[in-house]
Amino acid sequence: MTATPSLFAASAALFGRARRAAATGLARVASVALAATTVGGQAVMEGVMMRNRETLAVAVRRPDGSIVVETWPWFSLARGGLLQKPFVRGFPILLETLVNGIKALNFSATQAVDEATDGEIKPWHLALTLVFSVGLALGLFVVVPHLFSLGMELLGLGGDVNDLSFHLWDGFFKLAVFLGYIVLISLIPDIRRVFQYHGAEHKVIWTFERNSEVDALLARTSSRLHPRCGTTFLLFVLSIAIVLHAVLVPLLLMLWAPQSAVLKHAYIVAVKLLLMAPISAVAYEAIKFSARHGNNCFCRAMSAPGLLLQMLTTKEPDDGQLEVAAAALRGALDGVGATVAAGEVRPSETAAAPGPGPVAPVLSDDDMREEKPLNGVETL
């Protein structure tokens, strides 16, 4: 009989421990589910970049067949305050994504070509690449369509910049230049491989979102199309730009217009360039809304054109490319760089749960994750 109280006490202690463990497990599962819907990435040269909260990881296949994984902090412009407010955060997030993406792309280029290069990038090199990339994009998708629309006016097939027909032509040429650009670059073998890595990135993210596992083999059966893709975001930007330009430009010209035709068109092009900030902010909120309510018919209709466009910007990856994408996501989740020897296949694993915290765009909360070296690989 004297053992009974001790047995009850031990049972109560075990029950309490089990209850706490169950509660902790449920919390961890919920945290993993939250993180799984907020990771993001992009394809780079012979590799994939993945982002998880404030950590960026780039995995690249070297010429010798090994995979190098390097991590560094995510460069951010919108850490709080006004720049994190809805309908404001989109443009700074676009800029920081460009900065981090170009840095990852430059690192991948050095690793994919010459494994002896350390991948260091000079600040002026990064700034020059960023300026060139933004200038090329604005020139192709703002200036060139405007000039083509002006040509249609001179041919008598469209009206003046005050007329709706001018902006309908402008929207048509925006989409035509965008689609033509994607089709043309997809013919380049190196870009086609980038599109395969783009598909690998999506497949690995889908697998993590659905199973909380980083598994290259399991990712084979996942879709290469994803509603949060940057391709969909660009299509949102173009679509919103077409509508806003058709409405706002005639209104602005009613308020004030230069007398010279050349100055008037230069003024409108400048206005369109300035409108890219609010347009990207609106597009960002639109893609977040459609991704958050993916089961809604209206949101599925919003995402459908972007998913169709991804048929061009993604290609089916091979197993080696899926392995690289999985290594990048694992690096972003663990916050640890590594070098994986050629031919070494990592076993599948369930990702450890991150701790609670604010959800940031295309990333997950990883504050409480225990940093640990990858099994069987060299930590950088």
Q: Give the model confidence (pLDDT) of 335-357 as tens digits.
A: 866 666 665 545 444 343 333 33
For the four alpha carbons of 327, 331, 333 and 334, in that order, the dihedral sign comes to positive
**Cα distance between residue 104 and residue 99, in whole Å:** 9
Q: Give the model confidence (pLDDT) of 290-335 as tens digits.
A: 888 878 898 888 889 999 999 999 999 999 999 999 999 999 999 8
- 300-304 long-range Cβ contacts below 8 angstroms, 24+ apart: 303/227, 303/232
Report the chain's C-alpha Rg in angstroms. 25
- Phi/psi for 74 (5° steps) reads -75, 125
Q: Could you tell me if 264 and 254 are in contact, meaning their C-beta atoms sit under 8 angstroms apart?
A: no
Block residue for tokens 């043309």: 184
Torsion, Cα of 303, 305, 307, 311 (10° steps): 180
**Cα distance between residue 263 and residue 364, in whole Å:** 47
The answer to pTM > 0.85 is no
Q: Give the model confidence (pLDDT) of 47-66 as tens digits.
A: 999 999 889 999 999 999 99
Helix runs in 161-296, H state only: 164-185, 189-211, 230-255, 261-274, 276-292
